[in-house]
Amino acid sequence: MICEVTMLNGRGQWFNEGQPVMRHLRSFENINNNAYCIFIAPNIHTDSAETFWIANTIGYKGSKQKIAPITIK
């Protein structure tokens, strides 16, 4: 498991964190079977949630990922 944390709330969250979270997880997946990521933020922006949903259901760079976005105030 990897954990990605941000304090960003708005669209900047998606812009700064969306693709890098998926890329970091893919690097971790290359050396760990059954890897997943917990993404923690004060609020999960809609664009971030949708990006991670796509990575989970359709895939990122050829295969599905396991990313769980969690809001913690």
The tens digit of pLDDT for each residue in 29-66 reads 999 989 999 999 999 999 999 999 999 999 999 999 99
Per the DSSP assignment, residues forming a β-bridge with 67 are 37
Is residue 12 predicted with pLDDT exceeding 90? yes
- What order of strands is seen across the sheet that includes strand 2-5? 2-5, 37-41, 67-71
Angle at 72 between CA 53 and CA 14, to 5 degrees: 40
Return phi, psi of residue 59, to 5°: 125, 170
Average pLDDT over residues 8-28: 96
Domains of the chain, CATH where assigned: 2-71 (3.40.91.50)
Looking at 6-71, which runs of residues are DSSP E strands? 37-41, 67-71
Longest distance between any two alpha carbons in the chain, whole Å: 34
Residue 10 has pLDDT above 90, yes or no: yes
Q: What is the pLDDT of residue 70?
A: 97
73: pLDDT strictly greater than 90 = no
